[in-house]
A and B are shown apart, each in its own frame.
Chain A
Amino acid sequence: MWSWRAAPGWLRLGVAFGLLVTLSVVLWGPIGVSSTYHRLAISLLRSLTGEHAAWLADVARMGALSAPETWILPGLFMGGWLARRCKGPVLPEERTQLSTPWPRRLLAGVLIVLGARIAGGCTSGHIISGISQQAVSGMVFGAVVFTSAILTARLAGRSA
C-alpha cells in the first residue's frame, strides 16, 4: 500500500516547496534570490567609491539593501545550517570537500549572478516562482538555462 512517508524525497519535499511558493505569493510576493546579490554589490561598490548619482538610481530601481527580499538570503543560510545540524555534526571531509577546482567555482559564481541579472532573475525568481505564476519569461529562461547547463555540464564533465 502506498504511503506518503515512504514516498521519495523529491516528491514529499517538492510538494512542500510548492506549498511554500504558493504561500509566499499569497502572503507577500514571489521568492527570488539574485537581486539581493545586486543590492549587496551596489552597497559594497558605494562603500568603496562613495556616493554617485548612478548608484542612487540603481538603489531606487532595485530597492535598498533593507528591502524585505534581502532577508531571504540569510534565511537560506540559516535553513541550510539547521537542516544539516539536525542530521548530526558536519563531517570534516564534508567541510573541505572540493567538487570542482576553485577557478571553476569562482567563474561559475560570476556567471550565474551575471546571467541572472541580465535576464532579470535566477532559478528561484524566474524558473520556480516565474513558471509557477505562468510567466512566459520564466518558461523561456528555464528552457535556455537547462539547454546551456546540460551542454556545459557534459562538456565540463568530459574535460575534468
Chain B
Amino acid sequence: MDHRDYDAENGEAQLDALFHAYRQACPDPEPGAGFMPRLWQRIEARERVSFVFGRLARHVVTAALALSMLMAFAVIVRSRTAPLPPESYVEVLAEDHARQSLDYVEPVRMTPVADQAH
C-alpha cells in the first residue's frame, strides 16, 4: 500500500475517533432553572415589537392611502378649473412638426448664368 494512502486511511479512522471523543466531551447539558421564564420573556418581547411594528405599518398605510386620495382629488379639481386645449395631443404635435419642417425650407436663389461670369 502506498504510504500516502495508508496515512489518509489512518487519518480517516483517527478523525472518526476524534468526532466520537467530541460527542463524549459534549453531553446534553441540563437546562438552567431560568430557561423557561427567559424563553417566555423573549417571546413576549418579540411579540411586543411585532405588535408595535404592525400598528406603525397600519398607520403608515392609512396615511399613504389618505394622501393618495387627496392628490387624486387635487388633480381632478385642477383639471376641471384649467380645461385642456381643444386639439388633441397628436394634432398639437403635427402642427409643431409642420412649423419645424418649414424652418428648413429656404427660398431658392436663381442666379442668371451671365451674372456668374462677372
Q: Do A and B come from one complex?
A: no
